[in-house]
A and B are shown apart, each in its own frame.
Chain A
Amino acid sequence: MAEAAEGGKVKKILYVNRKAPYGTIYALESLEVVLIGAAFEQDVSLAFIGDGVFQLVKGQNTKGLEVKNFSPTYRALEDYDVTKLYVEGESLRARGLVEDDLIVPVEVVDGARMTEIMEDQDVILSF
């Protein structure tokens, strides 16, 4: 709160997630930015496009990989007041997924709506 007040600006920031988890570190380190960024009290949204939708799949079990399963963290985003999660429907369907397969409540949007969401931002952080 203090940081937002000092800066005096509230910006619309969109995190665009287009990469699957575990194969590369982008999804995890992107989530770390979202968590730290929450303290700045900006108008934050997350978009999941393409393979990014795989980040949200239920039932991830990383025991065999010896890496941290960070998917439960998406459920904690609500506690950080990060509640606007948009998933592009066509990306979901192309990967054989439906909304019910996802670990958190999201808003499934079509391509045109996703374009509007992106156009509406001050800053886009893509990972």
Chain B
Amino acid sequence: MKLGILISEGPYTHAASDTAYQFVKAALAKGHEVIRVFFYHDGVNNGTRLTVPPQDDRNIVQRWSELAAQHKLDMVVCIAAAQRRGLMDAAEAKRNGKDADNIAPGFRISGLGQLIEAAIQADRLVVFGD
């Protein structure tokens, strides 16, 4: 079955990203196809490579990057939400005249259309938020 995922909260404050991660892992283990993980609202903060959690804690961002690499997951960060919250890739940083970018491996920045497209193409869309 084709699954689309929407994550609406950032890492650590809310459980949404953790729950979504465990859900996606379980879905992949069962042979389902996760066609896209879309990060919206504060969820875009899951895509910053600058998080440094304590060593005895899970690394939420890195965990997503690794899962994406293993399973060729398409992880999309909403551009409008990302711009509001300071999440940038190199191209966006250049376009906006910023001196740094912070997007983590495996994430890409794109428009809200990607969420709608996932909703249309997936058999199920599951929303994780607060």
Residues of A with Cβ closer than 8 Å to B? Answer: 3, 7, 9, 11, 13, 25-26, 29, 32-33, 36-37, 39-40, 42, 123-127
B119 touches A (CB below 8 Å): yes
Tell me how many residue pairs across A and B have CB atoms closer than 8 Å: 54
Given A32-B112, A42-B120, A127-B8, list of 5 further CB < 8 A pairs? A13-B119, A33-B112, A36-B116, A123-B119, A123-B125
With A32-B112, A33-B112, A125-B6 already in contact, the answer to whether A40 and B117 are too (CB < 8 A) is: yes
Give which listed residue, B6, B40, B121, B129, contacts A7 with CB less than 8 A: B121
**Residues of B with C-beta under 8 A to A33:** 40, 112, 115-116
**Residues of A with C-beta under 8 A to B115:** 33, 37, 125
Give which listed residue, A11, A40, A126, contacts B129 with CB less than 8 A: A126
Contact B41 A37 (CB under 8 A): no
Per-residue CB proximity of B1-35 to A under 8 Å, as 1/0?
00000101000000000000000000000000000
B68 touches A (CB below 8 Å): no
Closest to A9 in B: B120
B111 touches A (CB below 8 Å): yes
Smallest distance from the beta carbon of A81 to chain B beta carbons, Å?
14
Contact B40 A39 (CB under 8 A): no
**Residues of A with C-beta under 8 A to B119:** 11, 13, 123, 125
Closest to B124 in A: A123
